Amino acid sequence: MAFIENLFLSLAEHIERYEHQDFLESVTGVCALVSSSNGNVGPQERARFKEVVRLLSRLKCYEADDVLDQFNQDLKNIKNNAADAEKAVLQKVKGTIKSKSDKELILKICWAMSRADGNVDRKEEVMIETIAKELGLNQRDIFNSY
């Protein structure tokens, strides 16, 4: 009986990961875009990313190292070809983040990342504005979300 219970738990965990994969990729992608927009991803941004992930209930089904690996891969993609990486992340976000509450959550995450080092610079603001536009939100929505 324990074998079957473990099998069902494992299956449920895999289904949960599958259901949240797009959300994971959207979160890691926007975090990478915002944190790298000023050209430097420092320890404060990495610490803030870990904090954000820890707080998101939909990402609790993933191992922390797997989420961090996805973030690092997004950063690598941005470093290798920023324009293509940005386009891919924005397409992912636009195609998968549908509910107003999820859109606002994504923006809150972006603002949290931009404030990681205590200073929001103009390049970070521009990136957040770009993400907001992809989500179909206007400037007022950006600031009201955080």
For the segment 64-112, what is each residue's pLDDT rounded down to a tens digit? 999 999 999 999 999 999 999 999 999 999 999 999 999 999 999 999 9
Q: Which pLDDT score, from 0 to 100, does residue 7 have?
A: 44
Which one is predicted more confidently, 40 or 90? 90
Q: Tell me which residue of 10, 68, 14 sits closest to 41, measured CA to CA.
A: 68
d(CA 104, CA 146): 8
pLDDT at residue 138, rounded to an integer: 76
Q: Does the pLDDT at position 145 exceed 60?
A: no
* Residue entry with tokens 């990681």: 116
| pLDDT value of residue 88 | 97
Q: Where are the domains of the chain?
A: 2-21+41-144
Which pLDDT score, from 0 to 100, does residue 66 have?
92
Q: What percent of the chain clears pLDDT 90, i.e. is strictly above it?
A: 65
Q: Does residue 16 register a pLDDT over 60?
A: no
Residue 141, judged by CB atoms within 10 A of its CB (0-12, 13-18, 19+), counts as middle
Q: Which residue has the higher pLDDT, 15 or 54?
A: 54
Burial class (CB in 10 A: 0-12, 13-18, 19+), 93: buried
pTM, full prediction: 0.86
Q: What is d(CA 108, CA 18) in angstroms, rounded to the nearest whole number?
A: 24
d(CA 111, CA 120): 8
Q: 86 and 78 in contact (C-beta within 8 Å)?
A: yes
Q: Report pLDDT for 79.
A: 95
* Cα 39 to the center of its chain, rounded Å: 18
- How confident is the prediction for the chain on average, in pLDDT? 86
Q: How far apart are CA 113 and CA 29, in angstroms?
A: 12
| pLDDT at position 13 over 60 | no
Share of the chain above pLDDT 70, in %: 82
